[in-house]
Amino acid sequence: MNATKFRSEATRDESALQQLDRIDRAILRQLQSDASISNVSLAAKVNLSAPACLRRVERLKEMGLIRGLVALLDPKAVGAGMLVVIGVVLDRSTPESFAAFEKAAQKVVGCMECHVVTGEFDYFMLVRTKDSDSFNRLHAEQLLYLPGVRQIRTFMVLKEILSTTKFPI
């Protein structure tokens, strides 16, 4: 991404945040806690009429502040109780090698997140699997075949202290 495009996106994002009043922020906080709340209940919690609340929610969606509404599943209940953090180092730092890795990483079963990072690694991936045996299979069948990878270091999470989807608004 070129610097001009990055600056224009950052300016747009800052401007969207500046347009929020206390009611918009209250709506966003409520929806982060329970997106299944009815519009009538949401309106009551933020002291608005239902039609005014619905208009605000639609405006927040149009502004791109609300990307979607999802159900958060219990990882253990769906057979994905083990969380693994994976550090990846590529053998080359070219746009082509990054693009090939990123395309392949999106297809890794159980990959919840993949981030380009600075420092010792090029990427960090968060992968969920059932257990260590299923992770070993995933490692042998998919991770070892990711393109352009020089090194993979895995860190099995022993205990999740904090995992949230809520932003401070």
Q: For the segment 4-46, what is each residue's pLDDT rounded down to a tens digit?
A: 444 555 555 667 777 899 999 999 999 999 999 999 999 999 9
Return d(Cα 108, Cα 100) in angstroms, integer: 13
* Low-confidence residues in the chain, pLDDT < 70: 1-14
Alpha helices in 63-131 (DSSP H): 95-105
Alpha helices in 63-117 (DSSP H): 95-105
- Token representation of residue 106: 């999106």
Give the SS3 label for residue 13: helix
Q: In order of start, what are the domains of the chain with their CATH numbers?
A: 3-62 (1.10.10.10), 82-156 (3.30.70.920)
The radius of gyration of the chain's CA atoms, rounded to the nearest angstrom, is: 20
Please name the residues in contact with 24: beta carbons below 8 A apart, sequence gap of 6 or more: 56, 60
